[in-house]
Amino acid sequence: MIAMTRHDLLVEVAKNALARLPVGDKSVLACMIVLHTHNLMLNACCALDDMDPHAERKLHAITRRHAAEVVASALGNPDQPSVMDYWYAKYVSDTPYEVVESIPEPIVRTLTMAKAEMLKHPLVHEIIEEE
């Protein structure tokens, strides 16, 4: 089994989703919104290096900055702070949403597609809105 942390798994989930979503900023931002407003429930068999083996299999919604780090890594630019800063600034200016209810309908459609693609990852059991 490959050693994997929570961050590694988030990057892998985003990378796999972005590979199947339309290319462009909208898809990247939609993935960031999902990561920032939803919890990822993991399969029972999922064992992460930085997670207690007896803990609930839940990755809580992450900060905007962490979401920017995740997508920068998923896009193949993990060591370039300018890329992470770009996505963070883009999120803040274009999609500053903290809860799903405040997201306008055109973005909800893209968000729904991103969520569906993220859910296809074999270690993700469910994606639920953060309360």
pLDDT of residue 91: 96
pLDDT digit string, tens, across residues 78-131 = 667 789 999 999 999 999 999 899 999 989 999 999 999 999 999 999 999 998
pLDDT digit string, tens, across residues 33-42 = 999 999 999 9
pLDDT of residue 129: 95
d(CA 112, CA 17): 12
CA 126 to chain centre: 13
d(CA 20, CA 81): 25
d(CA 88, CA 101): 21
